Amino acid sequence: MIPALLWYKRSWVLKIADALMRTFAITTSRLVLGFIILFMGFEILWRMMFEMLIGYFKMIEYLHHLSS
């Protein structure tokens, strides 16, 4: 979903990338590497939150089963 949104709003991404490159004088390859690392980090974070919610709802279901 996130890659599709980034493609849809690619003009924003290009403006941000251009501003970062002018501000910090970094190369394109370092910028791409930074975006890839951030993307992977947020994907891991999203997956961990999703797994936590699955575990939470399974525990609630099990506790309801025990109490009845």
Q: Which domain holds residue 30?
A: 2-67
CA distance 13 to 42: 16
The band of 65, judged by pLDDT with boundaries at 50, 70 and 90, is: very high
What is the domain count for the chain? Answer: 1
pTM: 0.52
The band of 59, judged by pLDDT with boundaries at 50, 70 and 90, is: very high
Q: Where are the alpha helices (DSSP H) in 1-68?
A: 2-8, 10-24, 28-67
DSSP helix/strand/coil, 3 = helix
Rg (CA), the chain: 20
25: left (phi over 0), alpha (psi -120 to 50) or beta: left
Residue 40 has pLDDT above 70, yes or no: yes
- Calculate mean pLDDT across residues 57-66: 94
Tokens 């890839």 belong to which residue?
36
